[in-house]
Amino acid sequence: MTPDQMRDASLLELFSLEAEAQTQVLSAGLLALERDPTQADHLESCMRAAHSLKGAARIVGVDAGVSVAHVMEDCLVSAQERRLVLRAEHIDALLQGTDLLTRIATPGNSVGAEDVEAYVALLGRLLDPAATPAPTVVSPKDDLSAEPIALEMAEPASTEPAGPPTKKKRVTEEGERVLRVTAGRLNSLLDLSSKSLVETQRLKPWLATMLRLKRQQGNGLRALEDLNVHLKDHVLSLQAQEALGDARRLLAETQQLLAQEIAELDEFAWQASQRAQVLYDTALACRMRPFADVLSGQARMVRDLGRSLGKQVRLEIEGEKTQVDRDVLEKLEAPLTHLLRNAVDHGIETPEQRVLAGKPAEGLIRLRASHQAGLLVLELADDGAGVDLERVRRSVVARGLSPEHTAASLSEEELLAFLFLPGFSLRDKVTEVSGRGVGLDAVQHMVRQLRGAVVLEQTAGQGSRFHLEVPLTLSVVRSLVVEVGGEAYAFPLAHIERMCDLAPEDIVQVEGRQHFWHEGRHVGLVAATQLLNRPATPNSDQTLKVVVIREREVIYGVAVERFIGERTLVVLPLDERLGKVQDISAGALLDDGSVVLIVDVEDLLRSVEKLLDAGRLERIARRNEAQSPRKRILVVDDSLTVRELERKLLLNRGYDVAVAVDGMDGWNALRAENFDLLITDIDMPRMDGIELVSLLRRDSRLQSLPVMVVSYKDREEDRRRGLDAGADYYLAKASFHDDALLDAVVELIGGVRV
C-alpha cells in the first residue's frame, strides 16, 4: 500500500467514525422534529450535523456524501428560516438521507451514483413548492434502506478447523504495540492517580508533626539534664536517683527510636510521592496526543478546496509534535476545519488578484501550535486580502444589527466582533463552501466549550490572523486558589488579567457603583462573597485582595479574602445528579486533601450582570468593621451529601460551621473547641450518635451544650432513644427541609448575632 493509499484509508476511517456520531445526532433530532417540527434547538443541531458531514465528506473526497449532506442541509435551513414547515414526508426523506449517509460512510458498502441522484431529486421536489407531489418515500424494505449497515465487530474465537480470522496488530513508529482502551478507563486511571498523588501529600504534615514531637522530646531530655545538674547539690534518696536516671534513659531511648522512625517515614514519603507523581504523569501522558493527529488531511483539503475555487493555496504547519489532551484534539478538529476553509474561501485571493497586488500567485496559510503558560496556543494566519471592513459595516446595517449612524462610528475591533455572530455571513449566495453563517460563531462556541478564547486580527491587503488559546488538557487546569468566606475557590489562570491589592483610597464611586482604575479604564468591583453566596468574614488587612477577571470584552475585579497561591489542579467533574451548579464548573483536591471548587468565570460574569440589572450588587466596605463573633455549630454525619447540605444551609444563614465525619471525630472536636450547638446523625462508624450524646452529657464542661439529632430513623422508639440519651431536639431526615432545620436551630440557640 502506498503512503497516499494509507493516508486515504486513515481518513476514510476517521470519516466513518464522524459519520457514525453525526448520523446519531441527525436520527435523534429528526425523531424529535417529527413530534414538533418547530423546535429550534433540534433544527440547529441537525443542520450543524449535516453541515459537518458535508465538510468531512469533501475532505476525504466522498462526493456522494457531499451531495447528500448538502441537499439535506438545504432542507433544514429552509425549515430554520420558516420557508418550509417540516411534514411527515420531509422527515421520512431526511431519515432516508441519514441512512444513505451511513451507507456511504461504511467501509465496504458502495452506493451507486443513481441512488444519490434519485435522492437529490427527491429532496429537490420536496423543497420546490411548485413541483408535482413527490413520490412515496422509499421504505426500509425498499432499495435505499435495504442494505444492512456493516459494522466492525470483534469475532469470538472459533473451534472450526478454519480458525478465527487473523487481525493485524497496530504498532507505533517505535514498534510498540498499540492497544485500545476506552476513554472511561483512562479517565478512571487519571482520577485514581491524581487522588494517589494528593494522598501522598498528606504525609508531609504528619512528618512535620513527628519532627515537632522529636524537638519537644529533645527539649524534655535537656530539661531533665538541667534538673539533674541542679539536684547535684541536694541529697536525694537512692529511689529518687534511680527514678531520675530511668526517666533520662527512657527519654533518650525514645528520642533515638523516634529519630529512626522519622527517617524511615521521610524516606517512605519521598518514595511514595515520587511513585505517585510518575503514576500521575504516566496516566496523563496516556491522554496526550501530538497536535498532528488533528491535521490529517488538512493540507490536502486546503489544496483541493483552493483548486475548486480557482485559487492556489499552500498550508504550512509548525509544532505538529506539540502534545495535547485527546479530548481537546477531538474538539479542535471542527473549529480548525472551519477556520482553514474560511481562510481559503474568504481570505486568499485568486492568482490574478494577487499578482496585481504584488503578491505571489500562490497564497499561504500558516498554522502554528505551541505551549505557552500551560495553554495550547494556535495561530492561523493567511496572506490574503484581510477583512473588508466597509463591507462588514454595510452588512451590519443591512441585517438590522445596528443603525447606520451607529455603524459608521464602530471601531475595527467592534466590526470584527460581528463576524462571530450566529448567522452572520458576507456571502450573498449560499454555496457548498460557505454562505450559511455557521462558521465563526461555531468556532467561538466550540472554543468556549474548551474554556478557551479566540481573537481575530487583520491588516487590510495583507491578511488575517486567528489567535486561539485553549487548555492543553481538560483534566488539569492551572488556577489561582483564593479564600472566599473561609473556603477555597479556584479561578482558572486563562481568565485572570492580574491580581492586585487595593488601598481604600483606590476605590471610587462612579454612577453609584464601586470601581478602581486599571489599564486606563474604570473597572467595576464586586464581592466574591455575594457572587458565591458565602458569608463575609472579618479581615484585619487594610488592603483589599482583588482578582481581575476577563471574558472577551467583559472585565471585573472580584474582591476575595486571601490569595492562597497558584496550583495545578486535577479537574474532578461534579456529580451529574447535581445538574449545573451556578458559577461553578468542577471540583478538585488540594495538596492537603481538602476540596476546592473551580469557578466558571463566564457563568460568574453573567451573575454579575444579573445583579446589576436587578440593582442588587452589594457595596464592599472600604475598611474592615468590627464584627461580633458568630455562633458556632458542629455538624457530625458520615454522609458527605448530608454533611455538606447542612453546612451550606447554616453558613448561608450566617452561622460558623465545623464538620466531623463520625462520632469519634466529633467527640475530639468537641473537646478541642467551643461550640454553641451540636447537630449529629445516629448511625455512624467508630462511634454512633447516641454514644456521642451520652459522652457529652457526662462531661462537666459540655453537658449543657444544646444537641439536635438529625436521622433517617423516624420511628417513635428511635425518637425516644435519641431524646433519652440527652438530645434536645430530634429531626427526621425523611421530613427534612431547609426551613425545618433552620427553624430548629433558631429555636435552640437563637438567630445569628449581629
Could you tell me the CATH number of the domain that includes residue 605? 2.40.50.180
Domain containing 106 — which CATH number?
1.20.120.160
Q: What is the largest CA-CA distance in the chain?
A: 126
Q: Mean pLDDT throughout 153-173?
A: 42
- pLDDT-based confidence at 679, cuts 50/70/90? very high
Q: How far apart are CA 25 and CA 47, in angstroms?
A: 10
Residues in contact with 700: Cβ distance below 8 Å, sequence separation at least 6, in sequence order? none
Residue type, 29: G
**Quick check: 58 and 104 in contact, CB under 8 A?**
no
| Structural domain contains residue 177 | no
What pLDDT, in 10s, does the model give residues 392-424? 888 888 888 888 888 888 888 888 888 887 777
**Residue among 642, 717, 715, 630 nearest 679 (CA):** 642
Give the domain-ending residue among 418, 438, 471: 471
Residues 317 and 271 both lie in one domain: no
| Structural domain contains residue 69 | yes
Residues 284 and 303 both lie in one domain: no
Please write down the HEC assignment for all residues of 135-185.
CCCCCCCCHHHHCCCCCCCCCCCCCCCCCCCCCCCCECCCCCECCCCCHHH
Q: Is the Cα dihedral 406, 411, 412, 418 positive or negative?
A: negative
Task: Select the more confidently predicted residue: 137 or 317.
Answer: 317
Residues 214 and 306 both lie in one domain: no
Whether residue 531 is predicted with pLDDT greater than 50 in this model: the reply is: yes
Residues 461 and 501 both lie in one domain: no
Q: How far apart are CA 211 and CA 420, in angstroms?
A: 59
What pLDDT, in 10s, does the model give residues 31-74? 788 878 888 888 988 998 898 888 888 888 888 999 999 999 98
Residues 400 and 462 both lie in one domain: yes
**Quick check: 713 and 732 in contact, CB under 8 A?**
yes
Number of domains observed in the structure of the chain: 5
**Quick check: 262 and 208 in contact, CB under 8 A?**
no
pTM exceeds cut of 0.85:
no
Predicted local distance difference test score (pLDDT) of residue 437: 43
Q: Is the Cα dihedral 88, 91, 97, 100 positive or negative?
A: negative
Dihedral angle, C-alpha 91, 93, 95, 97, nearest 10 ° = -150
Task: Choose the weakest-confidence range: 84-98, 126-140, 153-167, 338-352.
Answer: 153-167
In our burial notation (b when 16+ CB lie closer than 10 A, e otherwise), range 543-574 reads ebbbbbbbbeeebbbbbbbeebeebebbbbee
Give the domain-ending residue among 553, 586, 613: 613
Residues in contact with 340: Cβ distance below 8 Å, sequence separation at least 6, in sequence order? 298, 301, 302, 315, 365, 367, 380
Please write down the HEC assignment for all residues of 665-727.
HHHHHHHHCCCCEEEECCCCCCCCHHHHHHHHHHCCCCCCCCEEEEECCCCHHHHHHHHHHCC
**Residue among 634, 624, 574, 622 nearest 598 (CA):** 574
**Quick check: 372 and 467 in contact, CB under 8 A?**
no
Residues 309 and 457 both lie in one domain: yes
Residues in contact with 464: Cβ distance below 8 Å, sequence separation at least 6, in sequence order? 343, 347, 381, 382, 384, 386, 387, 456, 457, 458
Residues 405 and 543 both lie in one domain: no
Q: Is the Cα dihedral 195, 200, 204, 205 positive or negative?
A: positive
Q: What does the angle CA 347 – CA 341 – CA 426 come to, to the nearest 5 degrees?
A: 55
Q: How far apart are CA 656 and CA 658, in angstroms?
A: 7
**Residue among 187, 169, 167 nearest 474 (CA):** 187
| Structural domain contains residue 172 | no
Residues 535 and 636 both lie in one domain: no
Domain containing 300 — which CATH number?
3.30.565.10
Q: At residue 483, what are phi and psi to the nearest 5 degrees?
A: -110, 130
Give the domain-ending residue among 440, 471, 502: 471
Task: Choose the weakest-confidence range: 1-15, 127-141, 180-194, 620-634.
Answer: 127-141
Predicted local distance difference test score (pLDDT) of residue 753: 55
Q: Which domain holds residue 568?
A: 476-613
| Structural domain contains residue 183 | no
Residues 300 and 281 both lie in one domain: no
Residues 669 and 715 both lie in one domain: yes
| Structural domain contains residue 604 | yes
- pLDDT-based confidence at 140, cuts 50/70/90? very low
Q: How far apart are CA 733 and CA 468, in angstroms?
A: 50
Residues 7 and 140 both lie in one domain: yes
Decide: helix, strand or coil at residue 260: helix
Whether residue 238 is predicted with pLDDT greater than 60 in this model: the reply is: yes
| Structural domain contains residue 686 | yes
Residue 483 CB neighbours (<10 A)? 18
| Structural domain contains residue 542 | yes
Quick one: what percent of the chain has pLDDT higher than 90? Answer: 11
Q: For strands 508-510 and 513-518, give the pairing.
A: antiparallel
Residues 446 and 554 both lie in one domain: no
Domain containing 653 — which CATH number?
3.40.50.2300
| Structural domain contains residue 180 | no
Residue type, 575: D
**Residue among 308, 378, 386 nearest 343 (CA):** 386
